[in-house]
Amino acid sequence: MSFNKIILVGNLGRDPELRYTAQGTPVCSFTLATNERRRDKSGESQDVTTWFRVTLWGRQAEAASQYLTKGRPVYVEGRLRVEEWTDRDNRSRYTLEVHATDMQFIGGRSDDASHTSAKSESTSETSDSASISDHEITDDDIPF
């Protein structure tokens, strides 16, 4: 038996990009940064950032595209894959890619009107709705 599951909480590195397959299935991609504080050899604290490429499908892809923006925090769960590719200088490069199966918004509305987000708790027992652009979003409006 084998198991491949990753859970990440991080910040978007760029705005999500939504596209559709030839069959009309929504696909959303974005980068996610996680930060970790480590001590270097001299004992000083250093922040280390790890970047992941995230891909969402279906209704979650559309929700991510609509509500997430660069810098916003998000919870992502899925399968981790290492993608190998060749750069312009013909060197092998590797990218950590998450094929997400679950995504939850973290935090509430930002004071900045350009950063709107739905608020979600990580447990299924509680759920909040957030006001977005003068329209109240209910649990029925959120597609996941």
CA distance 114 to 110: 8
pLDDT at 142: 46
pLDDT at 79: 96
CATH number for the domain that contains residue 32: 2.40.50.140
In a domain, 142, yes or no: no
Asked if the model's pLDDT at residue 52 lies above 60, the reply is yes
In a domain, 46, yes or no: yes
In a domain, 42, yes or no: yes
Residue scoring higher pLDDT (140 or 15): 15
Full-model pTM: 0.67
Domain housing 36: 6-136
Dihedral sign for Cα 89, 94, 96, 97, please. Answer: positive
Question: How many structural domains compose the chain?
Answer: 1
Query: Residue 68's closest CA among 135, 123, 10, 25?
Result: 10
Rounded percentage of the chain residues whose pLDDT exceeds 90: 60
Asked if the model's pLDDT at residue 122 lies above 50, the reply is no
Q: Distance from CA of residue 84 to its chain's centroid? A: 21
In a domain, 80, yes or no: yes
Q: Report yes or no: 83 and 97 within 8 Å, Cβ to Cβ.
A: yes
CA distance 134 to 112: 15
Most distant CA atoms of the chain, gap in Å: 55
